[in-house]
């Protein structure tokens, strides 16, 4: 059985080796390490449950699973071998050194065909908590589907900033009324570690995708784990607060607990347009509903999150979206909605903290 530390060492060697050569340690192809955060809902939240879900998914994707170590798996295809770490049975990490397009294709297919799997969805406040010194910032705001209209001053903006003070640029754009709504943080690049423990160049994006482009992978992995831990805390916090849970009282009656989540857009939007663009059952929202106009500029939708097949209710006004989660609905559903509204409607969209 492969020790996890040995696996991390092999990935460090792979990062430092030019692509195209022999397998490093007979295990990993040389190249940058692409890591994908996957949120899993095994039938049983345990190592065995994770194993069962991983094996089912591998079969569906025509990948051959092989256990390398404790909660550490290799998934082999004709093109490449990917590695999945299920140490946390709900929040998995997939590592690969093959081409990013191929990794993305496999991940897309996995989450599209398996309702118990989703990627991570990091809102900008969380993404900006990536460890290290940030020196790269990418904004790729695209509101064609949800805003549209010729009267929108900015509905698609791409900015790539490389320099030592990306936060300053973000603050500058955020202070301008025209651009404030476009300051979605799509990716952050960071130098993590120090001279004592080693250094690594790490890029993280809002879909829970990471690239370790240079340096010590163990240092990068530590930064990834820390962000994943924060993401887990965030998702579990959403579930604890926003699931509307019903419990029978002793004898008669029913208690009801849980808040309604309120997402404030930070601006007024054309609700009809937003509703028309949101329920197309396609990426990234993958929401299905037959929305209903209940009043002037007020719409509701008893929707289904197609990623996981869970129901949720959405209530729209020009400035806010209220979300009512069912007792079974996953917090990742709300995280995905919030994150993608920041990327595709208005970057200022945020949860109201009552």
Partner 1 sequence: MDPRLLPLNAVLALAHEDGAWFHELADQGFRLHSIELKVQSSAGIVVADAVLYRLDPDLVLLCEGKSGRNLEEEQAKKYAVADAAALRRGGSLPVDVAQDAPVTPLYVVMNDVRADVEAALQGWGIETPVLSIDRGFARLDGPCPDGLEQFVCDEPPRTWPPGRIRVDHQSPVEEVAELLVQQISAAQAQRQPVLDLGEAASRIYRAWPQLSQSGRRDFLRKLKACARHLAGGSLKGVIRLDPGSNNVPPRILIERTPADRDTRGMPQAWQGQARRVAADLGRAGGSPPEEDVQLSLDDFDLGEADEADP
- Segment contacting partner 1 by CB under 8 A, of 44-52, 73-81, 321-329, 336-344: 321-329
Q: Which of residues 52-91 bind partner 1 (CB under 8 A)?
A: none
- Segment contacting partner 1 by CB under 8 A, of 53-61, 173-181, 226-234, 306-314: 306-314
Work out whether 28 is an interface residue with partner 1 (CB under 8 A): no
- Of 21, 149, 168, 237, which one interacts with partner 1 (CB under 8 A)? 149
Q: State the minimum distance, in angstroms, from the CB of residue 27 to partner 1.
A: 22
- Of 90, 124, 134, 138, which one interacts with partner 1 (CB under 8 A)? 138
Nearer to partner 1, 66 or 282 (CB): 282
- Of 1, 18, 195, 354, which one interacts with partner 1 (CB under 8 A)? 354
Q: Which of residues 252-271 bind partner 1 (CB under 8 A)?
A: 252-256, 259-262
Work out whether 148 is an interface residue with partner 1 (CB under 8 A): yes
- Segment contacting partner 1 by CB under 8 A, of 77-85, 166-174, 196-204, 232-240: 196-204
H/E/C letters for each residue in the chain? CCCHHHHHHHHHHHHCCCCCCCCECCCECCCCEEEEEEEECCCCCCHHHHHHHHHHHHHHCCCEEEEEECCEEEEECCCCEEEEECCCCCEEEEEECCCHHHHHHHHHHHHHHCCCEEECCCCHHHHCCCCCEEEEEEEEEECCCCCCCCCCCCCEEEEEEECCCHHHHHHHHHCCCCCHHHCCCCEEEEEEEECCCEEEEEEEECCCEEEEEEECHHHHHHHHHHHHHHHHHHHHHHHHHHECEEEECCCCCEEEECCCEEEECCCCCCHHHHHHHHCCCCCCCCEECCCEEEECCEEEEEEEECCCCEEEEEEECCCEEEEEECCCCCHHHHHHHHHHHHHHCCCCCEECCC
Work out whether 177 is an interface residue with partner 1 (CB under 8 A): no
């Amino acid at each position: 059985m492969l020790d996890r530390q040995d696996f991390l060492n092999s990935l460090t060697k792979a990062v430092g080796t030019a692509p195209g050569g022999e397998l490093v340690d007979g295990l990993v192809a040389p190249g940058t390490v692409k890591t994908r955060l996957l949120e899993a809902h095994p039938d049983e939240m345990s190592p065995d449950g994770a194993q069962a879900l991983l094996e089912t998914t591998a079969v569906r994707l025509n990948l051959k699973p092989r256990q390398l170590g404790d909660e550490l798996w290799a998934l082999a295809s004709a093109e490449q071998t990917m590695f999945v770490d299920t140490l946390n049975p709900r929040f998995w990490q997939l590592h690969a050194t093959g081409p990013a397009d191929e990794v993305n294709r496999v991940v897309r297919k996995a989450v599209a065909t398996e309702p118990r799997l989703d990627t991570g969805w990091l809102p900008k406040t969380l993404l900006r908590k990536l460890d290290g010194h940030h020196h790269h910032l990418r904004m790729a705001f695209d509101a064609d589907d949800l805003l549209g209209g010729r009267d929108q001053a900015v509905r698609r903006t791409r900015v790539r900033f490389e320099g030592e003070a990306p936060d300053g640029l973000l603050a500058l754009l955020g202070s301008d009324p025209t651009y404030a709504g476009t300051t979605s943080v799509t990716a952050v690049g960071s130098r993590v570690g120090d001279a004592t423990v080693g250094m690594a160049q790490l890029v993280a994006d809002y879909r829970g995708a990471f690239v370790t482009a240079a340096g010590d992978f163990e240092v990068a992995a530590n930064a990834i784990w820390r962000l994943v831990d924060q993401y887990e805390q965030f998702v579990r916090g959403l579930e604890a607060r926003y699931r509307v849970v019903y419990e029978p009282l002793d004898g008669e009656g029913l208690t009801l607990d849980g808040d309604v989540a309120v997402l404030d857009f930070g601006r007024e939007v054309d609700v009809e347009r937003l509703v028309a663009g949101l329920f197309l059952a396609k990426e990234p929202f993958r929401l299905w509903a037959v929305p209903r106009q209940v009043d002037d500029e007020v719409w509701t939708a008893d929707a289904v999150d197609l990623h996981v097949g869970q129901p949720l209710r959405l209530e729209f006004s020009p400035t806010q979206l209220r979300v009512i989660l069912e007792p079974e609905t996953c917090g990742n559903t709300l995280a995905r909605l919030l994150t993608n509204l920041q990327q595709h409607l208005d970057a200022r969209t945020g949860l109201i903290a009552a």
